[in-house]
Amino acid sequence: MLSFFKKYKFFAIVMFVLSAIIITVIYQVMEPKRSLKVFQPAEVSADLVDTTLQYVKKYHIIDDFSLTNQNGETVTQEDYDGKIYVADFFFTTCQTICPIMTDHMIQIQEALANDANVLLLSHTVTPEIDSVPQLKKYSIEKGVNDAKWNLVTGDRKEIYDLARKSYLVAKDNPYEEFDLIHTENFVLVDKRKRIRGFYDGTDPRAIEDLLEDIKILEKEQ
């Protein structure tokens, strides 16, 4: 019996390895690939969407923009072409949800520090307060990586329209024109400028989900 095993030991090892490879391949083929939904305005809560878009069911993308970052540089959609990115809305003097959201953006920045395919974009909702120097001061205090993350300011109406008509994450303020109530949402945008996910920027578990979804999106694109 021992001589039999010695004689066929090599054959048995080869068969074992081959079987393991075959099983792995079959599992990978049979396992359904996860994909992320493409969100349209009609599928988002109406109070977060401009009335002109509430019934749009296809082809929604993020509009072009031209804003100014913490370094006084113009930031446009071209800076995000071919990139996956996470966007949100905040203001530097906020004492409620914004500090938590910023801390979580820092967490995302650190988790993706070596991933050149993913960028971050934060829009201030108080551009009259958040000047370039104010954004720069804030970015230094928080440890923002300028190569990875733009904090942007600009025309209030443009920011308002981006929040309500592009990213679909802000409530209208009926008491003041071109004003809004920003939410805690982080928005995942793909390389084709489509919305692929919304995440509670104050919830640690949602940040974990976001990071996992970025991996899925990178495999897809």
Cβ burial of 182 (10 Å; 0-12, 13-18, 19+) is buried
Q: Where are the domains of the chain?
A: 41-220
Tens of pLDDT along the chain (221 residues) come to 545 445 555 555 555 555 555 554 454 444 456 789 999 999 999 999 999 999 999 999 999 999 999 999 999 999 999 999 999 999 999 999 999 999 999 999 999 999 999 999 999 999 999 999 999 999 999 999 999 999 999 999 999 999 999 999 988 765 465 566 779 999 999 999 999 999 999 999 999 999 999 999 999 86
- Looking at domain 41-220, which CATH architecture does it have? 3-Layer(aba) Sandwich (3.40)
123 marked as part of a ligand binding site: no
Cα-based angle 83, 204, 105 (whole degrees, multiple of 5): 40
> Alpha helix (H) ranges present in the chain?
2-7, 9-30, 98-111, 132-142, 156-161, 204-220
User: Using an 8 Å Cβ cutoff, are 142 and 106 in contact?
Assistant: yes
- Which residue in 207, 7, 219, 215 sits closest to 101, CA to CA? 207
3-class DSSP state for residue 196?
strand
60 marked as part of a ligand binding site: no
Q: How many residues does the chain have?
A: 221
How far is residue 164's CA from residue 182's CA, in Å, rounded to a whole number?
10
Position 69, amino acid = N
What angle, 0 to 180 degrees and rounded to 10, lies between the N-to-C axes of helices 98-111 and 204-220? Answer: 40
Can you give the pTM of this predicted structure? 0.83
Q: Judging by DSSP bridges, how do beta strands 74-76 and 84-90 pair with one another?
A: unpaired
104 marked as part of a ligand binding site: no
Residue 131 has φ and ψ, to the nearest 5°, of: -75, 175
